[in-house]
Structure 1
Amino acid sequence: MLRRTTPLAALLTAAAVLAATAPAAASPGSAETRLVDITAADGTALRAAVCEPADPGPHPVAVFVAAWGGGSTQNIMPCRALASRGYVTVSYGARGFGESGGEVEVAGPDDISDVSNVIDWTLANTESDPARIGVGGISYGAGISVLASAFDPRIRAVASMSGWADLVESLFGNRTRRAAVAMVLRISGEQNGNLSDESREMLDKYITGEDRDAVTEWSRQRSPSSYVDRINRNRPAVLMLNTWSETVFPPGQLADFQQRLSTPSKLELIPGEHAAAETSGLLGLPNDAWNDTYRWFDTHLRGAEPDGAPVVLQPRGATDRPREQYPDWRHIATRTDRYFLSAEEELTTDAPAEWSSTLHSGRDTIANGGVPLVTYTLEALTGNPPTAFLPALDPTAAARWTGPELAEPEVLRGSPRLRLTAVPPTPEGMLVAYLYDVDATGTGRLISYIPYSWEGATPGAPLRIDTALPPTAYDVPAGHRLSLVVDTEDPLFFLDHNTDGAPLELRGDAANPATLELASRDGKELP
């Protein structure tokens, strides 16, 4: 079957080609590489690359599941690296992708069973240790790996890079459909793989908005957060590596997931975008994400000393920012700074009187979340978040509140929270909130943003909105100002629309004040 290739899949394929033609490591620490077909429980052939140390075993095992659209050699360079460290490594393409047979089930039950079948084959055909087994992957492979650890107690360590914990939240967070997720799954799945009828049906229903309950249940069955009790009972050590500006799987769900785990775990968040932080490692280049994965496996499969704290954060804003280490997520912020939204378009610490502001729905503004897979990859390389010249904001299509000039830096660590009242003009609609760091020229650097949609609302009746923005680690410099922008359109969320020109009223009063709460800490307290 000839499969077309998307740009991301093309990059991963290039990595595989370079890796497959690279010479094997020389002895000592040499590894032998071979391609095999592993038969799944239902007879599906899964193509896998196997790298084995030349010295006698038994060796610890590392199984890697390829990312969405990838095949057996996608992870070949990390596999060779681990084999040179004494691991038996197996990298395979998930069913329906690459050279593997079967159909793409989007991390369905057969995908989870396949992980166990690959482990079975590895134990039967290599000098491997059944008591020391790790699994991992990027994106699609990451999610499958965490899910598999809930169903196979032999898995002792998991490395999830750019993965998800809650697929329902990824698809329907704040009742807003993520167009970027839909595009990645549906279009690239069709081009690069063999989608099952169920997968095609569910993804089409997601895009059209039909039968949300069925899509939600389908997504829940594919969410590691649905199986926390099983994961805790099996007690694998779970490493999660993700980025602050992740478009496909926002990082807040991983923080929530980690706090529910009683098994050893580690969460690392750095600047960047989906899968961008790990890709250079597929080419065999120095890569922090893969090095952290190797150390995680060494700790939990070979008894090496633990490396670092359970929560590791690299703040946004510069490429050379040192990483901060915390004992858990609850300790990243030490205080809550509260601002009120006022009629004077100010963020103030004084509770204002009753106010309202009306904007015209369905009109886009210069405030937006950026270009998927591009904007925040560039941020990781340059340290510069997306910007907008806020004085040019259309006041008829957006509302804006700006705080006072900061006497000291505002050290943001965690999730900002927005509370306000909206009066929707129609039963269905959406607003998008953006938090900016604004300099003396009026240029805003985007800190965080969130969509919020409603359904079945009574037109003209107040609707209380209470939502957390995605977490961040960002330092707003002294002399800058914070600015909150609310509009009703963003290209990232084009599946949900407002009635063009319909008046959307935003308001606050003494009984229901409109507030912006910031999770912060004193810069002198930073680890």
Structure 2
Amino acid sequence: MHSRRTFVSMSALACLVAAAPAAYAETGFTTRFVDIVAADGVALKAMVMEPRTPGPHPVAVLISAWGGGCTQNVMPARDLAARGYVVIAYGARGFGESGGEVDTAGPKDIADVSTVLDWTTGNTAADPARIGVAGVSYGAGIGVIAAAFDPRIRSVVSLSGWFDLVHSLYGNQTRRGLVALILYTSGWGHGRLSAETDWMLRTYFDPTPDPVDREVINEWARVRSPSRYFDRLNDNRPALLIGHTWSETVFPPDQMVELYERYDGIKRIDLIPGEHASAESGGLLGLPSETWDTVLRWFDATVAGTDTSILAERPVVLRARPGTHDPEPHPDWRSAEGEPRRYFLGPGQDDGVIGDAPRPGWRVEIDADRDTIATGGVPLATYSFEALSGEPPRTWLPGIDRAHGAVWTSPELPDGLRVRGSVSAHLTVIPPGQTGTIVAYLYDVDSTGTGRLINYLPLSWTDAVPGEAMPVDLRFSPTAYDVPADNALALVIDTKDPLFLDWNTGGGRVALTSPDTDPSFVDVPVRRGEESAR
């Protein structure tokens, strides 16, 4: 109950914030709070901003993120209302001032979007032919799935959303435990989880889950994945804007690139440095926000039809790491990607080396179930700091315990590298047990041995033959990263990271090898003709 009283207080405060500026009152919109009753009787609390001028007006529906209420999107709502939109900002069921229990983007949440549209077209001066839906994170996923079911949605904006929830939960057979724990605790702290959602999240943490339970979780996640309804989405063809960050710890960007690549309608994708929702947070607080400016322009073009200039721009827009670079516009994803450049992993005097020629026949062993100082970071913190500072997380590579982690380093790269796309690696693992996990980290290393993290990736197995060689392929999420001239690349592999629930049991030693007939390598996508880093 304490949580609910807090959100009611926030509503009252937000109402004052929304109504206070005289300029907004004079330019012409009203603000009110209403209950929109869903089909099962649950009341969804909504903040309605409506132009004073005669309609019909274009419509913008803003769906709250995980844990948020109807006032979470008050700042972008004001901006849209000031541009002549009827704005309905509502809290998803189970959160904030809305009733019911959290359905985690399930069928009830999707039906709620249509209920909100029904109420809007029946109770405001809305134009039913001009409707857009937007959300951050949780609201993004709900909005994209709803656009597959309700053809009235002519434009949908996904900011820090997801395409395949199974991939998010079990990518490379590895559970993202720390992120799931944050979602679970914040879900109870700011809402009312349904019994189903509570069971799914608690079972997800089981160190030795029953295979039947895991399949139940997978099916639960499939129902909540836009990928399941992709054909319907493609048939409805809403204009699709995707905003995402390179270093997402909740929903890695590879799935959103897949959505963009497969989708046939009008579309745009913006990928920038940062963490989950870091690009959107400033705009939610009323600060200048390039991300929300893009949303406004997208709705003006694809909902209101007042300014279509954004549709003439190249639709794939990248900003490279580290730091904040100028946007790189491209006509399609293929044009944005670099050409793979193969580097081979080989033996060295101390650590391994990354070189241009195959050097198979080596073997390195590391302790299983032992961590090193190499880490993917802290969810919602590490890469949010990068978004503010421009600096990726750093690790001093000489400090990595070589008994627990293997290191390969390239010579200095005189021209640097402009990495664009998905780095991949191939090597052979000899596991000590039937189950296990490795975690790979790719670094940009300066002359002091300090590595800045380019990317990281876990990989787990649950049915290996102990002691038998097992070829593995690692494909990192796409990124845009400029390695400075005279720095080097380094690949680090260990077996634990606090971000993940690993499958290591019983200790032992993991062998990493490169057979004569199957050399190990790293493929780095490099922009051809543009190798020099800025």
TM superposition score category, shorter chain reference: over 0.9
Structure 1 residue 501, shift from structure 2 partner: 4.0
Cα distance change on mapping 1:318 and 1:80 into 2, 3 Å: same
| Residue aligned with 1:77, SS | helix
Instruction: In structure 2, give the amino acid aligned to 1:245.
Output: S
Give the corresponding residue for 1:449.
456
Q: Distance in 2 between matches of 1:326 and 1:406?
A: 26
**Equivalent residues of 1:415, 1:518 under 8 A apart:** yes
Structure 1 residue 51, shift from structure 2 partner: 0.2
Instruction: In structure 1, give the amino acid aligned to 2:188.
Output: E
2:219 is aligned with 1:226 = no
Structure 1 residue 181, shift from structure 2 partner: 2.8
Give the corresponding residue for 1:305.
308
Choose the corresponding residue for 2:411, options 401, 404, 409.
Answer: 404
Could you report, residue by residue, the CA deviation over 1:266-303 in whole angstroms, capped at 9, with x for unpaired residues?
A: 11111111111111211222111111111110110122
Give the corresponding residue for 2:326.
322
2:521 is aligned with 1:515 = yes
Q: Which blocks of at least 5 consecutive residues in structure 1 are unaligned?
A: none
Give the corresponding residue for 1:236.
238
Q: Distance in 2 between matches of 1:14 and 1:394?
A: 54
Q: Identity across aligned pairs (percent)?
A: 53
| Residue aligned with 1:129, SS | strand
Q: Distance in 2 between matches of 1:188 and 1:16?
A: 21
Structure 1 residue 525, shift from structure 2 partner: 8.4
2:505 is aligned with 1:499 = yes
Could you report, residue by residue, the CA deviation over 1:186-227 in whole angstroms, capped at 9, with x for unpaired residues?
A: 111112111111111111111113411111111011111111
Cα distance change on mapping 1:413 and 1:14 into 2, 3 Å: farther
Choose the corresponding residue for 1:159, options 143, 146, 157.
Answer: 157
| Residue aligned with 1:26, SS | helix
Matches within 5 A, 1:464-475: 464-475=471-482
Structure 1 residue 20, shift from structure 2 partner: 4.6
Cα distance change on mapping 1:455 and 1:14 into 2, 3 Å: farther
Cα distance change on mapping 1:468 and 1:306 into 2, 3 Å: farther
**Equivalent residues of 2:440, 2:491 under 8 A apart:** yes
User: Once structures 1 and 2 are overlaid, which stretch shifts more, 181-190 or 192-201?
Assistant: 181-190
Instruction: In structure 1, give the amino acid aligned to 2:526.
Output: S
Instruction: In structure 2, give the amino acid aligned to 1:393.
Output: I
Give the corresponding residue for 1:109.
107
Q: Which blocks of at least 5 consecutive residues in structure 2 are unaligned?
A: none
Structure 1 residue 310, shift from structure 2 partner: 1.7
Could you report, residue by residue, the CA deviation over 1:28-84 in whole angstroms, capped at 9, with x for unpaired residues?
A: 532100000001111110000000011111000000110111111111121111011
Give the corresponding residue for 1:179.
177
Give the corresponding residue for 1:331.
335
Choose the corresponding residue for 2:429, options 418, 422, 427.
Answer: 422
Cα distance change on mapping 1:18 and 1:371 into 2, 3 Å: farther
**RMSD (Å), alpha carbons:** 2.1
Q: Distance in 1 between matches of 2:18 and 2:80?
A: 16
Give the corresponding residue for 2:346.
342
Could you report, residue by residue, the CA deviation over 1:350-387 in whole angstroms, capped at 9, with x for unpaired residues?
A: 01131111001111111001111111111111111000
Matches within 5 A, 1:33-432: 33-208=31-206, 209-210=209-210, 211-303=213-305, 304-307=307-310, 308-319=313-324, 321-344=325-348, 345-432=352-439
**Equivalent residues of 2:460, 2:503 under 8 A apart:** no
TM-score by length of 1: 0.95
TM-score by length of 2: 0.94
Give the corresponding residue for 2:487.
480
| Residue aligned with 2:178, SS | helix
Q: Distance in 2 between matches of 1:76 and 1:418?
A: 45
**Equivalent residues of 2:254, 2:477 under 8 A apart:** yes
Cα distance change on mapping 1:13 and 1:182 into 2, 3 Å: farther
Cα distance change on mapping 1:84 and 1:484 into 2, 3 Å: same
Instruction: In structure 1, give the amino acid aligned to 2:292.
Output: W
Cα distance change on mapping 1:281 and 1:173 into 2, 3 Å: same
